[in-house]
Amino acid sequence: MLISAIAQGFLWAILGIGIFTTYRILKFPDLTVEGSFPLGSAVAVTAIVSGINPVLATILAIIAGMGAGLVTSLLYTKGKVPVILSGILVMSGLHSVMLFVMQRPNLSLLNQPRIYDAFNALPNYFDVVIVGIGVLILVISSILFFFYTSVGQAYIATGDNESMARSLGIQTDNMKILGLVLSNGIFALSGALVAQSNGYADVNGGTGVIVIGLASLIIAEVMFKEVTLGERLLTIVIGSVLYQLLILGVIRLGFDTTYIRIFSSTILAVFLMTPQLRKGLKLDMFSGKEESV
């Protein structure tokens, strides 16, 4: 189960990295993730069942996720729909899209090929670990390369100070469109890989995934503060694995997995409050010193 948790941590880390590119870099709270993630699962599984190669099916899933991100970005930038609402609208609409794609609420990959089959000779779950590491290297390398291009610098500037970026001639709306398209492609990639690992796709598979992605990010930020951009992406992977290990610990303690989401939310809440708790503890220590003087 330990290797399984680590393997899942790698796959979910992809989601966390996607959230980082919008939530932290672009300052855009994109709720489309809860629609594009299961959309990637639905497209990939349906394509595989239809006889398409798993690698190509995964690429199709990425394209579908990018399409979802494009719709959200256009609603926000061109339609002037509020940030949160634009994501909710697309997320809700994607439920029907997934039903249309799969023609049923869920679809199994039983006796179907998967992207992990190339490593079938390895022990259980090690195939997922290898693929997860490979995809993470590809995603992180691509993101770092992008951020060091002129377009990537314009993207970062848009998130840092949109008014200043606009005064420098940067088309900030285009940066937002680009960011949402790319991030939702990453969300769908994570969904496609998780679905192939779990062996099925479900239209409700996106419920709560934003909590998992944010948990990876928050754990990374609490544990590792002063880091470079590349190091931050790596810490998100560590945060994702630690989160999965914490969930595994909860399960091993005998708690009912039916209520696993409340434990997920609790873990995230604890890490979100950690900086404030540390601050309060330091204030108490200083006040104690003053009283003793």
Q: Is the pLDDT of residue 285 over 70?
A: no
Structure tokens at 68: 């979802």
Higher-pLDDT residue of 278 and 214 is 214
Q: Output the domain CATH number for residue 234.
A: 1.10.3470
Q: How far apart are CA 223 and CA 239, in angstroms?
A: 8
Residues in contact with 54: Cβ distance below 8 Å, sequence separation at least 6, in sequence order: 44, 48, 113, 114, 115, 117, 196
Q: How many domains does the chain have?
A: 1
Contact 200, 112 (CB under 8 A): no
Q: How far apart are CA 293 and CA 290, in angstroms?
A: 5
Q: Does the CA dihedral 153-191-31-267 come out positive or negative?
A: negative
pLDDT in tens, 85-119: 999 999 999 999 999 999 999 999 988 999 998 88
Contact 201, 45 (CB under 8 A): yes
| Band of pLDDT at residue 72, cut at 50, 70 and 90 | very high
Q: Is the pLDDT of residue 287 over 70?
A: no
Task: Express as a percent the part of the chain with pLDDT over 70.
Answer: 94
Q: Is the pLDDT of residue 291 over 70?
A: no
Distance (Å) of CA 21 to CA 70, 114, 141, 221: 15, 28, 14, 14
- Say which residue the tokens 């639905």 belong to: 42
Q: Is the pLDDT of residue 281 over 70?
A: no
Check residue 53 and give left, alpha or beta (phi > 0: left; psi -120 to 50: alpha). Answer: beta
Domain hosting 85: range is 2-292
Backbone angles phi, psi at 63, to 5 degrees: -60, -40
Q: Is the pLDDT of residue 37 over 50?
A: yes
Q: Is the pLDDT of residue 280 over 80?
A: no
